[in-house]
Structures are given as C-alpha cells and as structure tokens.
C-alpha cells in the first residue's frame, strides 16, 4: 500500500490565457489542385485541406521518401557504381554514365534538384540491394511514419505500376518527418549543386526545379513532380515569423500559385503561440515542488486570434510522501502537464524535479528516464 501511495496524483489545474497574439483577419483560399493540404510542421496541425485523404498518383514527389532513406542509411559518403538499369530509366535524368562511380550524396542532390530517375534507381540499388529490396524499405518507413493510405512500388514515381499511390495528407506527414533531418532540409532547399563529371573536364551543375525557391521569399525547399497520369504534383515548405509550413498539391494545374495562396493564408491567419514555456513551473505552489519543478521543453501551437483563449493546462503531480525527506528518493519525473485545446487533449509534457546534484547525474537520469515515465504514466507526444 505504501508503494501505491507514491503513485497517487495531486491534481492542480491552471488555465493559460495566451495574449499578445497579433490581430489577424480571417482568410480563405481557393486552389486548382484536386487534392491539397497546408500543415504546420512542428505540431502537424492542418490549417487547410481539400480532399486530402483520397489516394492518387504522386509522380516524382515519391523521391522525398527515396531521399530520406538514402540520408538515413548513413552511407552518403560512399561511392555508388551506376548500373545499366539505372541509366536506362525513363523520363527525367541527370545523364549518369553506365559503370561510373559517383558519391551517394551527389546522387541525392541530383534526385531532389533535377528529379533524376536514373539517380533514383542508382540509389535504390545501392541502399536496398535491388529495386524490390528498396521498395520494401520505402513501405516499411511509410508504415512507421503513419502513412496509412500510401503504397510505393518504385523509387521515382513513374507510372509503371498500378499500386503506387499516396494522399496529400500522407505526403505532408512524410515531409514533416523528413524536415526534422537537417541534411534533408539542406538538400531540399539547395538552389544549385555541382557534382563531378567522370568523362568531362567540367563539373555537372544542377539547378533546383522548385521555382518557389526563387519566386517566393519564404520558401525553404520542396520537390516537384509530373507524369501524364498523375499530372502536376508539388510539395514545398516555407517559413515566416517562426511559423514553418508544409504545402502539398496533387493534380494541380496551377500548383505554384496554389502553394503561394495557401502560404499567404496560413501566415496571415495563424500565429505560433507559446502555450507552455520551457523551464520552472511557477504555478505549482506545493512546498515540496515550489521552484523545484520544470519542463525540459516548451510547447508552441499555431492558432488564430479567435483561438487564443481555448487552451488550459492540467498539472498532475505525484503526491509527496515521507520518503522524500531525502532528495535522493525523489523521482526525476514527478508529474505531467496535460495541455488541452478547445477541451480536447493536445499534448502531454513530463515534469522534472530539479535536484541539487542533478547535473552530475545527467547520464544516470537519461538512462532511467523511460523507466520513470512508464511508472507514472507520463507520455510525450511527437
């Protein structure tokens, strides 16, 4: 029974009113694309959508998955021998030569900037051992990310399989995942890249096909796509005033303008509000916890002006007991902050206890963080 008492929660509820958010006018947007979505990167909140969950052909935005798998392989410095099969890939090409050796990193640049189908096959064969092996990895990663309405059948997006499809929502999920990788974000946003040319005295020079990198000042990257059956597909990212957005359009005749319109609506209508600050939690007044409990990370959320008062935070703390007279007996995680938005659970953040010797025990703390988290039921959302 004494052990059970340690798991009792001492509830404390505080309503957080978020002020100082600029006044914003409600905006609307109309897009040409059959499917479209605008998503905020850090939280995954959908700011706009149009038929975003219908399965469609996706063309070369497939290569976002090919790129992130190549980057995560840890083989970017390896030299890849280009096969005859890679050189014979149809459609867009960077004109690789059969038998040439090229750095995997350069192949990924050629993939993302010039949409080379030859680079996609060369990457797939090197990472997966074969096209089929790589496709298995693509679908495995899609399942891991939560792309429930996606199936990959090739590494480039050509219309050579009937079971190659995704949705605007799933492609936004993939891009959100990929953009957490700094190397992917760098490559995606690169305007020009040079790579060695084995048969010439001059280097290859690849210019990014993503026009928004030049035409829209807030664009940070993306991937273009087109096939006769998929029509125009486009994924881009943009950042303004710390608000990071992802736009996806499938079968969008006027996709460049679609993306700009969605971004302008998003930036004008939404602002990133600080819901839970990082650091000491001042609203908890219990004498054991006062000035001793903190969060390691804060939490921000994109909101409109009308939504600024829709948050509240519920703090659930372990009830202190007599064993805590010695600081060593106090758990590192002593509670959780559960954030609600419009009365719906949104995020749960662990609350830590600051000990006098916590810095010297950092490695020990990291080792057992998950154990303590499981014991008191604190979960951290992505």
200 occurs within a structural domain: no
- Based on the residue annotation, tell me whether 63 is a catalytic residue of this protein: yes
What local confidence, expressed as pLDDT, does residue 358 receive?
52
Catalytic, out of 35, 50, 56, 115: 115
CA–CA distance, 59 with 275 (Å, rounded to integer): 39
Q: Which of 97, 94, 108 is nearest to 63 (CA)?
A: 108
Same domain, 287 and 314: yes
Candidates 366, 376, 307; CA nearest to 338 is 376
Extract the annotated binding site: 223
Supply the CATH number for residue 147's domain. Answer: 3.40.710.10
Q: 28: how many CB neighbours lie within 10 A of its CB?
A: 8
Looking at the fold, whether 228 and 291 belong to one and the same domain comes out as no
Decide if pLDDT at 268 tops 80: yes
| Whether the Cβ atoms of residue 148 and residue 81 lie closer than 8 Å to each other | no
48 - beta bridge partners?
A: 38
- Residue 223, in any domain of the structure: yes
pLDDT of residue 28: 72
Pair (16, 40) in one structural domain: no
**Looking at the structure, do residues 278 and 327 belong to the same domain, yes or no?**
yes
The number of folded domains in the chain is 2
Residue 318 covered by a domain? yes
| In the predicted structure, residue 24 carries a pLDDT above the cut 60 | no
Domain end residue (candidates: 220, 239, 269)? 269
Dihedral of CA atoms 39, 235, 173, 161 in degrees, nearest 10, equals: 150
Q: Is residue 344 part of a domain?
A: yes
Rounded (5°) CA angle 246-251-253: 95
Same domain assignment for residues 333 and 301: yes
Yes or no: say if 223 and 61 are a contact pair by the CB < 8 Å rule. Answer: yes
Domain contains 202: no
Per DSSP, the three-state class of 308 is coil
Please tell me whether residues 11 and 63 are part of one structural domain.
no
Smallest Cα–Cα separation from 170: which of 307, 52, 25?
52
Residues tagged in the binding site annotation for substrate: 223
Mean pLDDT of 255-267: 98
* Catalytic status, residue 201: no
To the nearest whole number, what is the mean pLDDT of the chain? 89
> Minimal CA–CA distance to 87: which of 224, 199, 205, 193?
199
Same structural domain for residues 99 and 229? yes
Rounded distance between C-alpha atoms, residue 154 and residue 135, angstroms: 6
pLDDT tens sequence across 301-333: 999 999 999 999 999 999 998 888 888 899 999
Residues 220 and 306 in one domain: no
Whether the per-residue pLDDT at 367 is higher than 60: the answer is no
Based on the domain organization, do 124 and 44 belong to the same domain? Answer: yes
In tens, the pLDDT along 119-169 reads 999 999 999 999 999 999 999 999 999 999 999 999 999 999 999 999 999
Q: How far is CA 105 from CA 70, 82, 177, 296, 362, in A?
A: 8, 14, 19, 35, 36
Backbone angles phi, psi at 193, to 5 degrees: -135, 140
Inside any domain, residue 29: no
At 6, which CATH number? Answer: 2.30.140.30
Q: Where are the beta strands (DSSP E) in the chain?
A: 9-14, 35-40, 46-50, 79-81, 101-103, 192-195, 204-207, 219-227, 231-240, 243-250, 271-276, 279-280, 293-295, 299-303, 311-318, 333-341, 344-353
- What is the rounded CA–CA span in Å between residue 253 and residue 223? 16
Q: Is 115 a catalytic residue?
A: yes
Which of 50, 56, 63, 292 is catalytic? The answer is 63
Pair 175, 298 in one domain? no
Question: Of 35, 50, 56, 60, which residue is the catalytic one?
Answer: 60
Same domain, residue pair 88 and 160: yes
Is residue 381, in this structure, part of any structural domain at all?
no
| Beta pairing, strands 333-341 & 293-295 | unpaired
Structural domain span for residue 347 = 2-20+273-376
Summarize the confidence of residues 329-341 as an average pLDDT: 95
Q: Considering 269, 289, 311, which residue would you say is the last residue of a domain?
A: 269
Q: Is residue 162 part of a domain?
A: yes
The reply to whether 117 and 242 lie within a common domain is yes
Whole-number Cα distances in Å, 10 to 158, 290, 317, 322, 337: 58, 14, 5, 15, 12
Q: What is the pLDDT of residues 187-224, one digit of tens each?
A: 999 999 999 998 888 999 999 999 999 999 999 999 99
Phi then psi for residue 199, to 5 deg, are -110, 5
Beta carbons within 8 Å of 51's beta carbon, 6+ residues apart: 34, 35, 36, 168
Res 326: pLDDT: 86
């Amino acid at each position: 029974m004494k052990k059970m008492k340690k798991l009792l929660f001492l509830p404390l509820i505080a309503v957080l009113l978020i002020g100082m958010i600029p006044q914003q006018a409600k905006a609307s947007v109309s897009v040409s694309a059959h499917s479209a979505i605008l998503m905020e990167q850090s939280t995954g909140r959908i700011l706009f959508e149009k038929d975003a969950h219908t399965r469609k052909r996706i063309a070369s935005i497939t290569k976002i998955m090919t790129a992130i798998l190549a980057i995560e392989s840890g083989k970017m410095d390896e030299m890849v021998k280009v096969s005859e099969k890679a050189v014979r890939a149809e459609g867009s090409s960077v004109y690789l030569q059969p038998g040439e050796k090229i750095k995997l990193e350069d192949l990924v640049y050629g993939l993302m900037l010039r949409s080379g189908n030859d680079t996609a096959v060369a990457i797939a064969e090197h990472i997966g051992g074969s096209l089929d092996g790589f496709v298995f990895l693509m679908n495995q990663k899609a399942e891991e990310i939560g792309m429930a309405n996606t199936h990959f059948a090739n590494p480039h997006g050509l219309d050579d399989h009937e079971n190659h499809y995704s949705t605007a929502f799933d492609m936004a999920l993939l891009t959100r995942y990929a953009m957490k990788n700094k190397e992917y974000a760098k490559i995606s946003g690169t305007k020009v890249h040079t790579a060695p040319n084995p048969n010439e005295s001059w280097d290859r020079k690849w210019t990014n096909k993503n026009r928004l990198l030049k035409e829209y000042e807030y664009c940070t990257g993306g991937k273009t796509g087109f096939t006769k059956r998929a029509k125009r597909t486009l994924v881009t990212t943009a950042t303004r005033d710390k608000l990071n957005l992802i736009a996806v359009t499938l079968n969008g005749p006027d996709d460049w303008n679609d993306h700009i319109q969605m971004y302008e609506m998003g930036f004008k209508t939404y602002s990133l509000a600080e819901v839970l600050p990082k650091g000491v939690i001042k609203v908890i007044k219990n004498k054991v916890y006062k000035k001793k409990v903190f969060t390691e990370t804060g939490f921000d959320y994109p909101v409109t002006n009308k939504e600024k008062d829709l948050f509240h935070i519920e703090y659930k703390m372990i009830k202190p007991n007599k064993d805590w007279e010695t600081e060593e007996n106090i758990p590192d995680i002593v509670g959780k902050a559960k954030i609600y938005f419009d009365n719906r659970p949104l995020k749960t953040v662990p609350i830590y206890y600051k000990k006098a010797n916590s810095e010297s025990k950092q490695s020990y703390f990291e080792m057992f963080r998950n154990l303590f988290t499981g014991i008191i039921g604190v979960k951290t959302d992505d």
